[in-house]
Amino acid sequence: MIRYQGWDAAFFDALLDGYPLHLAASHGDVPEIHRLLDTGYNINELHLPRSNQMGFGSALHIAVWCDQTAAFAALLERGANMDILDERTPDERKVEDTPIRLAVRLGRRDMVRKMWRSGAQRHMYAKTSNLADRVTLLEVAAREGYPDIVGDMLSWKSDWTYDQRLNALRKACRAYDVDADAGCTRLLLNDWQYDPEDLEEIACETIIHRVEGGGNLAKVIAALLDEHRGQVMGDNHAHQDLLDLLLPGAAASQSQIESLRLLLQSGADPNAPIKKNAWTQSRFPLQLTLHFEQWDAQTRTFNVEGLKTMLDYGARTDILYKDEKITLENWRRENMGEL
């Protein structure tokens, strides 16, 4: 997830030739901002694309980019348009940003607060943008991993729809790499009572979606499990089914050892057959640790830590296919003491 660190005034110096107001905003030069505006400079002029470089919007956008609070305040005071769309910045984003959406994406909490309270439109999009890309500000904050902004938005606005909250939760869970300690995830879970079926779907999406994960993903999964357990209290089978459903996804990844341990400690059955409609042809989670695929090298190898963990929690080797048993025994002999 791009965090835009280093996109400061120095970065924009080479891009803003011919845009004096933008340049003044990037350096927080408030006297120059006032001087330019007093001479009739267009406060809402857009920085336009050049060759292969995308445009960066108005001077207000630039003040947000560079976290220049004094320039930001001066531009707002002089009537800068809070709802103007930029020209799309050079990242994977498909939708143009207004200053408030850009501030949310960059985690500029005070700027978000100022524009929200000043009446900035919260759902402003280009007419050409795809409806699927028109995510709410709550979803943007959740996706980018800013629990303070998520908390603000939940307190400022109580009429977020169920689908908007659910979409924000889904994005927070899939953004575990920036959602430190699952802060956004837990805020959204504590704010609303979600249907258990939706929690199950999000948990499965989250553990399958991962490329890297580690501790942050384990914290997100733990938060989802805690909420699901509370929702299905009295129905132990439903929670057990979810644990067993998630286990193969964790077993299949070398980067999910903490999630694997979490699931096993929570009661996942290491010998539960994988459901037929799952994404793998393996019958049992242990088989996935034997045939872990390194996607970058397109080779198959053992998920050694996963294999050890599964065996520590009682995974049976007698349920393996004959060739898998032979492969495991050969590997054991070649790596004495490893298992």
Q: Is residue 119 a part of any domain in this protein?
A: yes
Long-range contacts formed by 203-207: CB under 8 A, 24+ apart: 203/173, 203/228, 203/242, 203/246, 204/245, 204/246, 204/249, 205/170, 205/173, 205/174, 206/173, 206/174, 206/176, 207/246, 207/249, 207/250, 207/256, 207/259
pLDDT confidence band for 210 (50 / 70 / 90) = low
Q: Is residue 83 a part of any domain in this protein?
A: yes
Q: Per residue, what are the HEC states of the chain?
A: CCCCCCCCHHHHHCCCCCCHHHHHHHCCCHHHHHHHHHCCCCCCCCECCECCECCCECHHHHHHHCCCHHHHHHHHHCCCCCCCCCCCCCCCCCCCCCHHHHHHHHCCHHHHHHHHHCCCCCCCCCCCCCHHHCCCHHHHHHHHCCHHHHHHHHHHCCCCCHHHHHHHHHHHHHCCCCCHHHHHHHHHHHHCCCCHHHHHHHHHHHHHHCCCCHHHHHHHHHHHHHHHHHHCCCCHHHHHHHHHHHHHHHHCCCCCHHHHHHHHHCCCCCCCCCCCCCCCCCCCHHHHHHCEEECCCCEEECCHHHHHHHHHCCCCCCCCCHHHHHHHHHHHHHCCCCC
Residue 161 contacts by C-beta under 8 Å, 6 or more apart in sequence? none
Q: Is residue 208 a part of any domain in this protein?
A: no
Q: Is residue 239 a part of any domain in this protein?
A: no
φ, ψ of residue 212 to 5 degrees: the values are -115, 165
Position 295 scores a pLDDT of 44
The CATH number linked to 68 is 1.25.40.20
Q: Is residue 123 a part of any domain in this protein?
A: yes
pLDDT confidence band for 125 (50 / 70 / 90) = confident
pLDDT mean over 27-41: 97
Tell me how far CA of residue 91 lies from CA of 4, 65, 115, 131, 221, in angstroms. Answer: 10, 14, 24, 19, 28
**pTM of the complete model:** 0.87
Q: pLDDT tens, 237-263?
A: 999 999 999 999 899 888 889 999 999
pLDDT confidence band for 296 (50 / 70 / 90) = very low
Q: Is residue 80 a part of any domain in this protein?
A: yes
pLDDT confidence band for 93 (50 / 70 / 90) = low
Asked if residue 293 has pLDDT above 80, the reply is no
Domain range holding 20? 1-134
Provide the number of structural domains found in the chain: 1
Position 89 scores a pLDDT of 56
The region, left, alpha or beta by phi > 0 then psi within -120 to 50, assigned to residue 181 is: left
Q: Is residue 214 a part of any domain in this protein?
A: no
Asked if residue 194 has pLDDT above 50, the reply is yes
Q: Is residue 75 a part of any domain in this protein?
A: yes
Asked if residue 136 has pLDDT above 50, the reply is yes
